[in-house]
Structures are given as structure tokens and as C-alpha cells.
Amino acid sequence: MAGLLQPARQRQHRAPAPAPGRGHPRAGRDPDHDLPADRQPRAGRGRQRITDLAPDGFHKVFFTNGGADANENAIRMARQFTGRDKVVSTYRSYHGNTGSAVVATGDWRRVPNEYARAHVHVFGPYLYRSEFWATTPEEESERALQHLRRVVEAEGPTSIAAILLETVPGTAGVLMPPPGYLEGVRALADKHGIMLILDEVMAGFGRTGDWFAFDAYDVVPDLITFAKGVNSGYVPVGGVVISDPIAEHFDERVFPGGLTYSGHPLAMASIVASIDTMADEGIVDNAARVGAA
């Protein structure tokens, strides 16, 4: 359990759960109930599988029920860590259906839901329908970065907690970032102490031929959000993979949030089984092969 964020506080939300008691024959069994202790796929083992795949400097995971609340909690972590409010994201994006996530979303679903504050949107790179009159991927990248830079400057860089991007925007149309874009966003975020959150809910865990979609670029985010592919959707689960400096911030401070089912054994068992299967059967390599063909 050592890798979980404030595990005692998360667990206490779970305490009063099922009325018939865990393991009642009519309610089903914990998936790890009958296993020897060293094989119990509880949250620590799920976390280990995920952080083993993440870049150096990621050792903790905050588990959620799905992708929206992964982004919701990542935004909250960035705000708590930086002491700033604003979140910059792109119009061509989907980040989920909860309070901040749906307002961080750029597509039409945001508009009737704009009750969360401090969200700013920019145009991301998309050469096919270029907002920047660009004619090459390089031009699109450079001009989209210049647009982002100007918005950050105009909004006030010290008011911005996070830039939140889908590594590869999915619902908006599978938009591969042009050369240098993600690296440029990383550099801009670093310059201003802004956290970079990469939403890997759709693109992560093998979809692009890498374990994380950002593995194909020279970029490491501060927070990684995931769901769907981590367990092939067998049961609802998601989470935030947290870089060490942000995790350490919460060693000394209570994180203002928790979820009843964070690290639920059934979800954790499905993560361990799915990741092990993907690794054993070379599924990510196969995606890379098929994608390159």
C-alpha cells in the first residue's frame, strides 16, 4: 500500500461498505480472497504494475472510478500543488463528464456545463483544419505553440496551475501531435512552473504501440491520467499517476478528496491481469507493428 496517496484516508471512505459483509456467498467473493498473501492483487500490486511502466520519478497512483474523475483529481492536485487556479486545455478535446473535466473539455459538451471556474481554451495543432494558415506539420507545431505561449502570457502565467492535453486527442479525431509540439508545451510549462497533465485515458496502455502514448515523444508530464485500456474496461477504474514532487507535497498535507472505491480489489485484480496479459502476449508490440504497416 506504500505507493498509494494517503492510503489511510482513502480506505476510511470504504470502511462502511457492503451490508452483508465481504465474502458473503450471495454477494460474490473478493477476487483476492482465496489467494495466498503474496499473490493478493490489491492496490499495491495494481500500482506497481502501472508505475513500473511509467517514466522514472513516478511512484504513486491515486485510483479513481474512471477517466473523468482521474482528470478531476489531477486538476485538483495541480491546483493544490501550485496554489494557482487556471487550467488551459484545447478546444478539440474530451476530458470527461464531471464538474471540472467537462469544462476542461473543449468540445460542445462543455457549453451547457460551464459551471466550473478558471478554465481557458486554446486551439491545438491540427494541420488538416489549421487555425494558423499553416501548410506543413512543422509550421503548424510552431504556430500552435506561439498561440499557446501568447494565451499563457495574456492570462498571466502565475495564475495557471496546469496545461491539460490528451497526448493524442481521441474523440476529436485521432490527432497526432506534430513534431516538437509536446516538447514545446513541456518547455513552456517548465518556464512558468505550470504542471503538465497528459490525459492518457483513451491513448494509454498500448493503443498507440507504446505503453503510454507520450513514450513516442521527448516529453514527461507531471501527472498522467488513465482509465479504459489499463484493464481493457473489464470493470470501471481509472487513476492519476503522480510524479514524486507532487506526491511528496501530499506527504505533509491532506489531499482534499477521496473515493469510496479507490483501489477496489476487483478493479486492481483486473489491472494486474490485463497488464500481465498484454505484456505476456506482446499486445503492445503488436499494436506498434500493425500501426506501422
Give the residues lining the site for ligand PLP (CB under 6 A).
66-68, 71, 94-97, 166, 170-171, 199, 201-202, 227, 238
Any idea which residue has 517514466 for its cell? 55
Please enumerate in sequence order all residues whose Cβ is within 8 A of that of 117, keeping only pairs 6 or more positions apart, or say none. Answer: 85
Q: Which is nearer to ligand PLP, 97 or 232 (CB)?
A: 97
Q: Which is nearer to ligand PLP, 17 or 174 (CB)?
A: 174
Closest Cα to residue 62, out of 258, 276, 197?
A: 258
* Distance in Å, CB of 88 to ligand PLP, minimum: 16
Please enumerate in sequence order all residues whose Cβ is within 8 A of that of 120, keeping only pairs 6 or more positions apart, or say none. Answer: 86, 87, 88, 89, 151, 155, 160
Q: Which is nearer to ligand PLP, 134 or 195 (CB)?
A: 195
* Distance in Å, CB of 252 to ligand PLP, minimum: 30
- What type of residue is 2? A
Q: Which is nearer to ligand PLP, 171 or 232 (CB)?
A: 171
* Distance in Å, CB of 105 to ligand PLP, minimum: 8
Q: C-alpha grid cell for residue 35? A: 489467494
The Cα 61–Cα 148 span in angstroms is 29
Closest Cα to residue 93, out of 112, 108, 75?
A: 108
**Residue 142: how many CB atoms within 10 A of its CB?**
19
* Distance in Å, CB of 36 to ligand PLP, minimum: 33
* Distance in Å, CB of 25 to ligand PLP, minimum: 31
The Cα 239–Cα 253 span in angstroms is 20
* Distance in Å, CB of 236 to ligand PLP, minimum: 7
* Distance in Å, CB of 16 to ligand PLP, minimum: 25
Q: Which is nearer to ligand PLP, 134 or 275 (CB)?
A: 275
Q: Which is nearer to ligand PLP, 47 or 207 (CB)?
A: 207
DSSP state, residue 92 = S
- Tell me the residue nearest to ligand PLP as measured from the CB: 67
Radius of gyration of the chain (CA): 19
Rounded alpha-carbon distances, angstroms, from residue 258 to 9, 17, 195: 7, 14, 21
Q: Which is nearer to ligand PLP, 3 or 67 (CB)?
A: 67
Closest Cα to residue 96, out of 67, 64, 137, 56?
A: 67
Q: Which is nearer to ligand PLP, 170 or 257 (CB)?
A: 170
Rounded alpha-carbon distances, angstroms, from residue 228 to 121, 156, 235: 25, 35, 9
* Distance in Å, CB of 71 to ligand PLP, minimum: 6
